[in-house]
Structure formats: C-alpha cells, structure tokens
Amino acid sequence: MQADRSEELTEEDIGHMLTVISTDGYYKQAMIVKVGCPVCFEEFLGTKRHAGGFIAGHRAYHEFDDKSNILMERA
Ligand SMILES: [Zn+2]
C-alpha cells in the first residue's frame, strides 16, 4: 500500500502530469492544478478531481453559511 501522493505535492507540481495514488483510487496521468476559493481565499493543490470537490465543498459551505447568517439576523 503506497502513501497518498497528494500530501507530498508542492507548487512545482502545478501543471505537471502525475500518477497519483489516493485513498479513493488511482489517478493515472492526473494534471496537478491549484485553485482558490473566491469567498474565503483558501487554496487547494491537487488533481482536478479533488479540486472539483474542493470547489463544490466550499460553494456548499459558503451557501450554508450565508443562509445561517440570514437566519441569525432574523432571530
Ligand atoms: Zn471558501
């Protein structure tokens, strides 16, 4: 069992094709990308598959956070 390569990624890996072994599978020739959240500016470095999860997760989180703020203002 090999270690999760995504934990070893650095800025130098951006734009490179790597074979990444992750806990959820084996990514052959995966492009390493860096994405940032426009709301909280958190950054993520990893495969597009994981970047998609990061973006979707932040979108869901911030949408939830907005709604909870509205609820708090009404209370
Ligand atoms: Zn965010």
Separation of CA 12 and ligand 1 centre (Å): 23
d(C-alpha 46, C-alpha 34), whole Å = 7
Separation of CA 2 and ligand 1 centre (Å): 30
Separation of CA 22 and ligand 1 centre (Å): 23
> What is the residue extent of each domain of the chain?
4-74
Mean pLDDT for each consecutive 10-residue tract of the chain (75 residues)?
A: 61 91 88 96 95 96 89 65
Question: pTM for this structure?
Answer: 0.73
Separation of CA 60 and ligand 1 centre (Å): 9
Q: Which two tokens stand for residue 23?
A: 């806990």
Per DSSP bridges, beta strands 25-36 and 43-47 are antiparallel
Measured from the Cβ of residue 38, the count of other Cβ atoms closer than 10 Å reads 10
